[in-house]
Amino acid sequence: MHFPEYRARRTRRTPILRNMVRETRLSVDDLIYPLFCVEGADVCHPIGSMPGVCQLSIDRLVAEAREVWQLGIPAVILFGIPDRKDALGSAGTSDDGIIPRAVRALKQVLPELIVVTDVCMCEYTDHGHCGVVRGQDVLNDPTLELLSRQAVAHARAGVDIVAPSDMMDGRVAAIRRALDTEGFDQIPIMSYAVKYASAFYGPFREAAESAPQFGDRRSYQMDPANRREALREARLDVHENADFLMVKPAMAYLDILRDLREAFDLPLVAYNVSGEFAMLKAAAQRGWIDHDRVMLELLTAMKRAGADLIITYHAKEAAGLLRQDHSGQEP
């Protein structure tokens, strides 16, 4: 293949040709929309750093989920913000906590919508860490019991998939055992297998009111500099029988998505996190970049890197564009 006998531009001549040779397609089927759930009625409290995203009371959450479902988005992931937080995150393990009630409400109205729940302690603890704290330490093994109870509470409420995001060692196995013991052997675990200690989570911590009150998460989340360690983390979760593997954040970690795609055959999820969303919104508000084109380019890049599914605050916007016509992906 040499110029001038071979000319790469031949297959780029028209939109139809380009469409025919396109290697990666973004589809509404790939998207999972995050929702933040608070106590109360008729609450829609906007999050300053995430334009268009709100903390919603259960009634408003159900209305929002109906819209999401009508757009063709197959799944939502829920984050709960309880009224009262304590050192052991007890609001997170209760059968009538905010998330179990939200799950029951959603499944009643939209039985086919896939409801995923984030399983973690940080939204429920007063110190904001993802586990049990002693002094300055986040204790691994005592946290496993609480995460397992939280996952079982979600399962009893009818959740479709649980997604542990705490980064404690051994939590996939512990949750699997607890779910199976309680008769929930059909509930898959979507593991935040490779989760970095990232500054891109800033806006989420405003949304979930989950910023750590002392220190940071570097003793459990991964160092952004590490690549081989990502493969070790994923391998551990595969051995513990995870059903999905997640990489988080997405944009700055496309190499890690590719590494996992090549090493494992499980469905792979990219989490396009809050800080990525906020950066795009801020630049677009100033008119510095084309919001819709950059959004579709980024989501397509995540799929090209190897993701099967993308958790994204852009899901509704992307679904709208993808539905309009095929030019959604033709920049």
End-to-end CA distance of the chain: 28
Residue for token digits 């399983």? Answer: 119
Which of 1-9, 19-27, 198-206, 295-303 is the region at the interface with ligand PBG (rule: CB under 6 A)?
198-206
Identified binder of ligand PBG from the candidate list 33, 36, 196, 204, rule CB under 6 A: 204
Contact between 77 and ligand PBG per CB under 6 A:
no
Q: Which is nearer to ligand PBG, 165 or 300 (CB)?
A: 165
Q: Is 210 annotated as a binding residue?
A: no
- Whether 248 sits among the annotated catalytic residues: the reply is yes
Q: Is 120 annotated as a binding residue?
A: yes
What region, left, alpha or beta, does residue 287 occupy, with left being phi > 0 and alpha being psi -120 to 50 degrees? left
Contact between 122 and ligand PBG per CB under 6 A:
yes
The CB-side HSE value for 20 (13 A sphere, CA atoms) comes to 8
Contact between 130 and ligand PBG per CB under 6 A:
yes
Other Cβ atoms closer than 10 A to 119: 28
Identified binder of ligand PBG from the candidate list 201, 220, 244, 253, rule CB under 6 A: 201
E strand intervals along 157-286: 161-164, 190-195, 244-248, 268-272
| Min CB(264)–ligand PBG separation in Å | 21
Q: Is 122 annotated as a binding residue?
A: yes
Residue for token digits 């989490």? Answer: 271
Q: Which is nearer to ligand PBG, 33 or 329 (CB)?
A: 33
| Min CB(306)–ligand PBG separation in Å | 20
Which of 169-177, 197-205, 227-235, 285-293 is the region at the interface with ligand PBG (rule: CB under 6 A)?
197-205
Q: Which is nearer to ligand PBG, 6 or 214 (CB)?
A: 214
Site for ligand PBG in 239-298 (CB under 6 A): 273-274
Other Cβ atoms closer than 10 A to 135: 5
| Min CB(216)–ligand PBG separation in Å | 9
CA 315 to chain centre: 11
| Min CB(162)–ligand PBG separation in Å | 13
Q: Is 276 annotated as a binding residue?
A: no
| Min CB(21)–ligand PBG separation in Å | 34
Give the separation between CA 6 and CA 106, rounded to whole angstroms.
56
**Closest residue to ligand PBG, Cβ-based?**
204
CB 218 within 8 A of CB 237: no
Identified binder of ligand PBG from the candidate list 143, 165, 312, 329, rule CB under 6 A: 165
- Whether 195 sits among the annotated catalytic residues: the reply is yes
Burial 24-53 (b: 16+ CB within 10 A, else e): eebebebbbbbbbbbbeeebeeebebbeeb
Q: Nearest Cα to 190, choosing from 246, 234, 114?
A: 246
Give the CA-trace dihedral at 301, 306, 309, 315, to 10 degrees.
0
> Number of residues in contact with ligand PBG, rule: CB under 6 A?
11
Tokens of 323: 């539905």
* Residue of 195, 281, 303, 316 marked active site: 195
Identified binder of ligand PBG from the candidate list 120, 270, 315, 322, rule CB under 6 A: 120
Q: Which is nearer to ligand PBG, 57 or 312 (CB)?
A: 312
Give the separation between CA 120 and CA 93, rounded to whole angstroms.
10
Q: Applying CB under 6 A, which residues contact ligand PBG? A: 118, 120, 122, 130, 165, 201, 204-205, 217, 273-274
> Which residues form the catalytic set?
195, 248
The annotated binding site for Mg(2+) is made up of 233
